[in-house]
Structure 1
Amino acid sequence: MIVFSINEETMSQTKFIVRKVAVLGAGVMGAQIAAHLVNAKVPTVLFDLPAKEGDKNGIAKKAIEALKKQKPSPLASRDAVNHIQPANYDDHLHLLKDCDLVIEAIAERMDWKTDLYKKVAPHLGEHTIFATNTSGLSINALADSLSGELKPRFCGVHFFNPPRYMHLVEIIPCKGSDAAILDNLERFLVTTLGKGVVRAKDTPNFVANRIGVYSMLATIANAEKFGIRFDVVDDLTGPRLGRPKSATFRTADVVGLDTFAHVVKTMQDTLPEDPWHSLYKSPEWLQKLIAAGALGAKTKVGIYKKEGKQMFVLDPAKGDYVGAGEKGDDGVKEILKNPDIGARFKALRESSHPQAQFLWACFRDVFHYIGVHLADIANSARDVDFAIRWGFGWTTGPFETWQAAGWQQVAKWVDEDIKAGKALSSAPLPAWVLEADRGGVHFAEGSYNPAGNALEGRSSLDVYARQLAPAKVLGEKTVELGETVYENEGVRAFTTGDDVLVVSFKSKAHAIGPAVLDGLNAALDIAEDRFKGLVIWQTEEPFSVGADLQSMLPAFMTGDWEAIEAMIRRFQQTSLRMRYSQVPTVAATQGYVFGGGCEIALHCDRVVGALESYVGLVEVGVGLLPGGGGCKEFALRASQEARGDILAALKDYFMNIATAKVATSALEAQELGFFKKSDMVVFNAYELLYVAKQQALAMAESGYRPPMKVKSFPVAGRAGAASIKGQLVNMLEGNFISKHDFFIASQIADVMTGGDVEAGTEVNEQWILDLERKAFMTLLQNAKTQDRIANMLTTGKPLRN
């Protein structure tokens, strides 16, 4: 990663290059931060104490080995872990001088951290950035232990767990932090590591943990007040409120009850004057669980525990576990479905049902808290909303929710409840909250900062120019990106004025049906006529869940097989058009890249994939095989990669399709052959469109010509198919697959080996496409496949029959 900084004395640009990073502390967070650094191809040295016995690097090595077994994997590729170098403080401190960034991530003890700083400081390079990954300790207090020379290069850099997947990183300056250093660090975090950065003030637990943990404490307190079971709380406070499935109590289990209690203790110890101080304590039931070693997911027992197939949840009143699975009241859940947020809050507030009262109280108490504390903990309301969205997985931030519900009315309700003694604190709302003309905190000009009584605009740091469609908060000025060139029911094609046509799908989950295929072909016509390149990019995840089975349903129900076959043929022709277009085609992927979406990407000249692209040809889940050119493409690639043995080159590609193998990152997609080694992996999904367009333009400017059509290529033939089927028989007899799985896999084998021909026979792409389409139709008309499709359409889950 290279960024530029300005030397104020010379006004010349100097490069800031991160060649190597050191992480101090090989605990859970330290090791996973190291893992994400090497995901991004940043060589990393992982330090820990010297082991008392055996290899002195034993502690660090054990942590590195553990990374390989964790789920979800902190590693985005198989080989990344090999670039973490284990080290210990006795023998390897000299390695620090070559590190451009050193991140301390040891236990949350001020004395331990400052002792370590004294040990490592003399070994740091002259320009090394030194950062602490503390989740809540005072950055200024830590900085006080540093020399005046090092202090300007010191700050907090708070990753969220797990570091690979959580978008948020908080940067917390100390009083002496150099502004240029902070900017360089932010550039590195945003583009190289793909993070969303919030600059936080040096207050206990900073922004996200301060508000997120308070929200959990308020939920716990209100659950006790209104007598709501923990499993009911989780049913009500998860996706129904736009929050993660883990909701409240499951989230505490996932985070670790000891970790949660530690963050609470930090608030208790460091915020004695806070109006909510009495709330900053771990409930007695939580303390008992921790004392018993029931720490949540990491110990397999916490607030929840599983015995066999039965799930249990703690009942604090009984002091024991009870069967889990109770749900919220249907009437209350019906209120939550109202799209009018203001009406939703009004109904909850006026309802006499304890669960409705509980939900209103949870919202009210968070609104009360952020209103009082905004000026103390964040630089603007935008930072609060992004911190909670990116750090706690809320779909909408708390200020956004308040503003969407009607700022004035909600403020009035909160004020009334405070005065009536219903809130968790008697602290009055600040005057700015109750201003008669206040319509909210987010506006086109910026987001409100009460400390300066002004609107804060977006960061002007150059790295954000790469985000053509950045994350937005409610109330910001939003205009449709680019100028629409073409639009139908399936797609919108637009340009931002740089000779690249961008196509976005409009269908649900970006499924590919007739309107999308028509739109893609129309866009290709326009791009070839007027533009230098074409990029397929979606305004939000996923890239595509595949073919639109729902659109086939009418023809499927009436048995109009000819209509379905015509659509499959159209899909195949569109894939070939992507491959042989007169302008370069680029797929910009993120999220699910499944089935037909994967086939479209396979046929583009280049893929620019967000790291978190989950890629696979998963059609066997509905009893089918890839019908849009996926089987053909893998057969072609195998023949091109074969060194005399086509079958050997084909087998891994076959297994990808037959087992519905899904790559769990864009890097793994390259390893499995879904993406080419020459394809690009982008760590920040908000930079996808920028990079994809640059790739299209670069190909165009270098004199792009479409690849020559493949006249013929050799296939493995019937002998190759027989070899594959022999292995399938063993799997069938071992009950690893069903008879219908065997039938589907046999069809895939026949297609990918070229059908009933001799090994080495030369065929062309259309030959395989015809086989693919015929096998697709054969499977579609099979009763067991039809059962799988029906089950997927009705339940959203695959059926194994």
Structure 2
Amino acid sequence: MSRFNVKKVAVLGAGVMGAQIAAHLVNVKVPVILFDLPAKEGSKSGIAERAIANLKKLKPSPIGVAEDADLIQAANYEEHLKLLKGCDLVIEAIAERMDWKLDLYTKVAPFIAKHALVASNTSGLSITKLSEALPDAIKPRFCGIHFFNPPRYMPLVELINTPTTRPEVLDQLEAFVTSGLGKGVVRAHDTPNFIANRIGIAGMLSTMKQAENFGLTFDVVDDLTGKKLGRASSGTFRTADVVGLDTMAHVIKTLQDNLSPETDPFYGNFGTPAVLQKLLDLGHLGQKAKKGFYQKVGREVLQFELDSEDYVPGGQKADEVYGRMLKKPAAERLPLLRNAEGAPGQFLWAILRDSFHYAAIHLETIAESARDVDQAMRWGFGMKQGPFELWQEAGWLQVATMIQEDIDAGKALSTAPLPRWVFEGPVAQAGGVHTAQGSWSPAQKKFVARRVLPVYERQIFPEKLLGEDSLPDWKTAGTTIAETKALRTWTLDGQVLIASIKNKMHAISPEVMEGLVEAVETAESDFEAMVIWSGDAPFSVGADLEATMPAFVIGGADAIESIEAELQNMMLRIRYAQVPVVAAIHGMALGGGCELAVYSARRVAHMESYIGLVEVGVGLIPGAGGLTYVARRAAENMAQSTSKDVLPFLTEGFTSAAMAKVGTSAIESRKLGYLLDSDLIVPHKDEVLFTAINEARSMAAGGWRAPLKRLFPVAGRSGMATIKAQLVNMRDGGFISAYDFKIASMIAEIVCGGDVDAGSLVTEEYLLALERKAFCHLIGQPKTHERILGMLNTGKPVRN
């Protein structure tokens, strides 16, 4: 099979989804053309141009850095159809109207390249019916591709074939979507709303119906169906507002129009809920209309009341007893909920029972195996576990019996019995649908293994489901070289040493420091390179404050200075290691985690990495070399220019540290200087380790040598005075507090090199000493203690 090389993509339709799909393509450096209808006034491509401009205003941002939106080429169907000939992939993303889509296909078909793949981004229309408007030459290259909104952040993409789609087309597209776009791919059958929306919308309708049955308000339901239940924190009704109530209504209508009591025994529950219909009639479409199930007025969040058709105070939470129930092991949790006396407990059992029931009834028709259902619900609806995973964890036959008893008693939403495979045969014997051999396929009557494609060789430790015990676990995989409670060093190939922090949130404790130094020594003596990778996100949230504070209480500033000196020495040891050290970043790299990354020889970062020096938030300054790095990089950047003034090159780094600014993507982190042009950004989180290991090997094979220690110029007292003058204005203008001013002034002093002449040459050790002094001073201040305790207790910064 020849390689599918995507050099350029065309997106047809500049609506919400089309524009954001185009934005994500730019995020991964794929050239893209965004088409729409010709505008009636002004530029013919005005509709697409306005959509591109609007991308810069959206929150959360669909694009890594706002200015990259300008890299999207605007086009219209009247003037630019010939541009399609240069595209390798054409994604249609216009409104969910079958007639509009078919008309557009007729218009664009003559201009599509002979090799190009064509895909429709539809949330539920029949892909087979859509293909009928295409010429026979294009049909084998056509399929469905369903991105979830917002495309940058939602992991799920469903691929749907037609009877005429060539198998290799889906393989090629799956490889591109997985590795190129960083998504989790599920292949769905061509049934209404495919997998995630079919199961998810049925679940939301069940939740709304059961909430009404048990008399629960929206806020209580969202409290119960959010993180407490292992689902997205927004819960049910808030999620509907974010998605858009008109969008939800459209997906419901797809079910109503394309299913029947004969094809879906739950069909009677697909009516649009009265409260949803009323909100639609009023034009309250959710977040985009600033009114939906909820309305925010100032800081207060109100909820809609159907009887009065008005908004009333909200914010109520369920009794804590149900939160405690939800923390129990699954085998205890579900019977407790089923037998609960209160309405919230019975409600929770009812919606879980309904989800299990619906998924089991429809598994055979909508998906190849149970794996696709559970992955789709994880990636598309933010669930910690899919319905089959939770069912299996709680005890397969025990839960199946409880469900069937409710069906027989008329308590379920449908009288359809559970399929026979639930109680008999391999699933019952295995105790669930996920096993080491694969996941259950009712159609094939066997456990089906994961697809074997070259792209998945890049995922050394793929995200696995409960019961997939044959997949490797990074915590025990490979050969262990050394292991403590805080750190494991191990190898997969005998060439690259991997260091994995085991502490909570991968915080850097004294034990981690000691272990990393030993790891460098081991790598230098026995390996070609070293990778710092800790499996699950985050990369590291920085120094272990809980471990540090007792040392301060016992030993005062001297004890802290000793710890800081060890931390700084560890950073220098990593920077000047005689083997390349690669930081493999997934999730947050904050404070000391950021410093650990920037002192590594190279960084490989997942696109959705959040990197920054955030110590100001706890009343401190970066003390492990972060400010020394800022000063050194400014000098290095100046050396590559014709300027002799280091101050302009220092401004971005100083501002980021003083304001605790975090890059909200790896792309923005590169702009802030925490990632360099030589660093790699990887779209898929599960490919970070593979890429880091290969990068480390390549660096070693290329004769990599550690940098030589050298002096570098600083901005001196004149630069410090310039920065402080700006800080005075911010303080006096009320933009920062007096304590913020004090901390920022200390940061300015360090990055400028203290009381020296502009252009003075200094060493890293000199600036590190300034860092230590300032850090130790601040950790003894009461206002810093308030900030540290506030962060430990609430997770939020205190501004005092």
Q: Could you state the TM-score of these two structures normalised by the residue count of structure 2?
A: 0.97
1:706 correspondence with 2:706: yes
1:273-352 → structure 2 map (5 Å cutoff): 273=262, 274-338=264-328, 340-352=329-341
- Counterpart of 1:472, as a letter, is K
Partner SS state of residue 16, structure 1: coil
The equivalent position to 2:441 in structure 1, one of 439, 449, 467, is 449
Which of 641-650 and 151-160 deviates more? 641-650
1:540 correspondence with 2:539: no
Distance 1:615 1:191 in 2: 22
Is the Cα–Cα contact under 8 Å of residues 444 and 475 in structure 1 kept in the other structure? yes
Distance 2:635 2:318 in 1: 57
Distance 1:225 1:727 in 2: 60
1:256 correspondence with 2:244: yes
Is the Cα–Cα contact under 8 Å of residues 590 and 613 in structure 1 kept in the other structure? yes
Residue 420 of structure 2 corresponds to 431
Residue 10 of structure 1 corresponds to none
Is the Cα–Cα contact under 8 Å of residues 285 and 319 in structure 1 kept in the other structure? no
Ranges of 4+ aligned residues in structure 1 off by more than 6 Å: none
Q: Indicate the percent of aligned positions where both proteins have the same amino acid.
A: 55
1:415 correspondence with 2:411: no
Deviation (angstroms), 1:515: 1.2
Is the Cα–Cα contact under 8 Å of residues 552 and 559 in structure 2 kept in the other structure? no
Deviation (angstroms), 1:544: 0.9
1:375 correspondence with 2:367: no
Deviation (angstroms), 1:394: 0.5
Partner SS state of residue 194, structure 1: coil
Distance 1:745 1:739 in 2: 10
Deviation (angstroms), 1:336: 1.1
Residue 139 of structure 1 corresponds to 127
Deviation (angstroms), 1:789: 1.0
Deviation (angstroms), 1:768: 0.2
Residue 461 of structure 1 corresponds to 453
Distance 2:47 2:713 in 1: 52
Residue 182 of structure 1 corresponds to 170
Residue 679 of structure 1 corresponds to 679
1:719 correspondence with 2:737: no
The equivalent position to 1:165 in structure 2, one of 153, 156, 163, is 153
1:652-691 → structure 2 map (5 Å cutoff): 652-691=652-691
Distance 1:464 1:317 in 2: 53
Deviation (angstroms), 1:437: 2.7
Partner SS state of residue 283, structure 2: coil
Deviation (angstroms), 1:687: 0.4
Is the Cα–Cα contact under 8 Å of residues 506 and 539 in structure 2 kept in the other structure? yes
Is the Cα–Cα contact under 8 Å of residues 382 and 442 in structure 1 kept in the other structure? yes
Render the CA deviation track for 1:402-434: whole Å, top value 9, x for unaligned.
Answer: 000000100000000000000000011000011
- Counterpart of 1:661, as a letter, is K
Distance 1:625 1:308 in 2: 34
Deviation (angstroms), 1:219: 0.5
Distance 1:49 1:590 in 2: 40
Partner SS state of residue 447, structure 2: strand
Distance 2:557 2:7 in 1: 58
1:800 correspondence with 2:799: yes
Partner SS state of residue 798, structure 1: coil
- Counterpart of 1:419, as a letter, is D
Residue 9 of structure 1 corresponds to none
Deviation (angstroms), 1:580: 0.4
Deviation (angstroms), 1:640: 1.5
Partner SS state of residue 492, structure 1: strand
Equivalent residue pairs, number: 787
Which of 281-290 and 234-243 deviates more? 281-290
1:198 correspondence with 2:186: yes
Distance 2:763 2:429 in 1: 70
CA RMSD of aligned residues (A): 1.0
Deviation (angstroms), 1:481: 2.2
Deviation (angstroms), 1:531: 0.6
- Counterpart of 1:233, as a letter, is V
Deviation (angstroms), 1:318: 4.3
1:149 correspondence with 2:141: no
Is the Cα–Cα contact under 8 Å of residues 88 and 117 in structure 2 kept in the other structure? yes
Partner SS state of residue 577, structure 1: helix
Partner SS state of residue 212, structure 1: helix
The equivalent position to 1:384 in structure 2, one of 373, 378, 384, is 373
Is the Cα–Cα contact under 8 Å of residues 230 and 315 in structure 1 kept in the other structure? no
Gaps of 5+ in 2: none
Distance 2:513 2:156 in 1: 37
Distance 1:652 1:423 in 2: 60
Residue 762 of structure 2 corresponds to 763
- Counterpart of 1:385, as a letter, is D
Partner SS state of residue 157, structure 1: strand
Distance 2:67 2:727 in 1: 30
- Counterpart of 2:176, as a letter, is F
Is the Cα–Cα contact under 8 Å of residues 371 and 439 in structure 2 kept in the other structure? yes
Partner SS state of residue 30, structure 2: coil
Is the Cα–Cα contact under 8 Å of residues 253 and 296 in structure 1 kept in the other structure? yes
Render the CA deviation track for 1:442-483: whole Å, top value 9, x for unaligned.
Answer: 000100001110111011111000000101000011442222
Deviation (angstroms), 1:275: 0.5
Partner SS state of residue 130, structure 1: strand
- Counterpart of 1:709, as a letter, is K
Residue 773 of structure 1 corresponds to 772
Distance 2:414 2:305 in 1: 26
Partner SS state of residue 611, structure 2: strand
Residue 479 of structure 2 corresponds to 483
Distance 2:594 2:248 in 1: 40
Distance 1:561 1:344 in 2: 48
Distance 2:766 2:430 in 1: 67
Which of 784-793 and 202-211 deviates more? 784-793
Which of 442-451 and 700-709 deviates more? 700-709
Render the CA deviation track for 1:3-37: whole Å, top value 9, x for unaligned.
Answer: xxx1xxxxxxx332111100000000000000001
Distance 1:121 1:597 in 2: 51
Render the CA deviation track for 1:71-90: whole Å, top value 9, x for unaligned.
Answer: 11111134421221111111
Render the CA deviation track for 1:583-612: whole Å, top value 9, x for unaligned.
Answer: 100001111110000000001110000000
1:597-746 → structure 2 map (5 Å cutoff): 597-642=593-638, 643-710=643-710, 712-746=711-745
Distance 2:417 2:307 in 1: 33
The equivalent position to 2:59 in structure 1, one of 55, 71, 93, is 71
Distance 1:438 1:695 in 2: 41
Distance 1:376 1:438 in 2: 22
Q: Could you state the TM-score of these two structures normalised by the residue count of structure 1?
A: 0.97
Residue 84 of structure 1 corresponds to 72
1:12-51 → structure 2 map (5 Å cutoff): 14-51=2-39
Deviation (angstroms), 1:278: 1.0
Distance 1:78 1:520 in 2: 37
Distance 1:61 1:481 in 2: 50
Q: Using a 3 Å threshold, how does the CA distance of structure 1 residues 390 and 688 change in structure 2: closer, same or farther?
A: same
1:748 correspondence with 2:747: yes
Which of 640-649 and 61-70 deviates more? 640-649
1:118 correspondence with 2:109: no
Distance 2:177 2:534 in 1: 24
Residue 432 of structure 2 corresponds to 440
Render the CA deviation track for 1:310-350: whole Å, top value 9, x for unaligned.
Answer: 21112234443220111101222221121x11101111111
